[in-house]
Amino acid sequence: MGTSRRRGAGQGGSALLAVLWVSAALAAIAFSMSSTVRGETERTSTSLDGVRSEYLAAGGIWRATDELLWAVQNPNGPGLRRDAAVANFTFPSGVVRVDIVPEAAKLNVNMAPPEEIYRLLIALGQDPARARGIALAIAGARSPAGAGAPNLSATPSFSARHASFEEVEELLQVPGVTPDLFYGTYLPSPEESQGPRLTRRPGLEDCLSVFGSTDRIDANGAAPAVLAAIGLSPDLINALVERRRAAPLTQGQLSDFMRGGGVAGSRLRVGGNSIVTMKATGRLRLQNGQLSDLRRSVGAQVKFMPPGYDSAIHILRWYDTIWSN
């Protein structure tokens, strides 16, 4: 009888241990499932917020477009100025910042002389030998084959069309033009700087355009690298950038400011911005009233048409994703 009691107690202990293991396994499965569900819920919420932020940014594009059109038709009216570089909008669902970049502030990629492209590449951080090679490659890619243009393609997966660039993104097919050079990159800020630790260096897309200027450059929107490309001295570039931060220059103010600027100074003007690229970044407003850390940016290339056309605004390109400040 004692043996039976011990056997029964042993079996009861084994059953209890099995129940404990099964309970632990079920708890682990439940914990894993709850973590998965929570993660999926958060991802879904983030995805939804991303879509809402994208539509919020798109709304900022359309509002900025309407206000700029109003500024063109009513120069002294309220709202954005025609030469505005930034627009900030507040909506019930969040805020939007719109950067407005006139194409007239860029060099024309199909017409800029190789020496200007060379100076532009130097200003964008390329060493002289590499800058010279890329400038010649760009000149060769846009020139008719057999017209004396060098063919610098080094066994690419495609050959140059030897015709004018139809889109500025075609520069990525030119030997030596890397994504960092085209789109821009981030560099460590100077040690004495009190701002962010990284500073963005612009790329070719910020300085060249198929709609860019073939003569004079808009002084209020031109990137410092573009100002260097047309021959302005570093001191004059810094002074101009600092001056226009306070407010966009008028033509009269620009003429006074650039007096003594020489030939390079005569390359600047104010206005001529019938085509602009808008880059909008949206941030949602949370239930507690604070702004979300999540951001989404969209862009559009907009042409304001002269009177007599069926539509006063033509959207030339739309960017579902774009870099923006």
User: What is the pLDDT of the chain when averaged over all its residues?
Assistant: 85
Decide which of 149 and 85 is more confident.
85
Question: How many angstroms separate the first and last alpha carbons of the chain?
Answer: 85
Q: How confident is the model at residue 4 (pLDDT cuts 50, 70, 90)?
A: low
Residue scoring higher pLDDT (177 or 150):
177
Question: pLDDT tens-digit profile of 175-208?
Answer: 999 999 999 988 887 776 676 788 888 999 999 9
* 285 pLDDT above the threshold of 90: yes
∠177-127-193 over CA atoms, to 5°?
A: 100
CB 317 within 8 A of CB 120: no
- Is the pLDDT at 11 greater than 90, yes or no? no
Q: What are the pLDDT digits (tens) for 52-73?
A: 999 999 999 999 999 998 887 7
Distance CA 218, CA 271 (A): 6
Cα–Cα dist 179/171, whole Å: 10
pLDDT at 105: 94
What is the reported pLDDT for 307?
Answer: 83
Look at 23-37, 60-74, 124-138, 292-306 and tell me which has the smallest mean pLDDT.
Answer: 23-37
Considering only residues 244 and 35, tell me which one the structure prediction assigns the higher pLDDT: 244
Q: Residue 160's pLDDT is what? A: 60
At which residue do the structure tokens 């860029």 appear?
106
Average pLDDT of the segment spanning 43-48: 73
> How much is the pTM?
0.77
- CB-CB neighbours of 188 under 10 Å: 9
pLDDT band at 44; cut points 50, 70, 90: low
Q: How confident is the model at residue 87 (pLDDT cuts 50, 70, 90)?
A: very high
Q: Which of 302, 227, 213 is nearest to 257 (CA)?
A: 227
Percent of the chain with pLDDT strictly greater than 70: 86
What does the pLDDT read at residue 6? Answer: 54
What is the spatial distance between Cα 85 and Cα 324, in angstroms, rounded to a whole number?
A: 13
The pLDDT-based confidence of 153 (bands split at 50, 70, 90) is very low
Q: Inform me whether the pLDDT recorded for 148 exceeds 60.
A: no
Greater pLDDT, 262 or 49: 49
Structural domain spans, the chain: 105-271
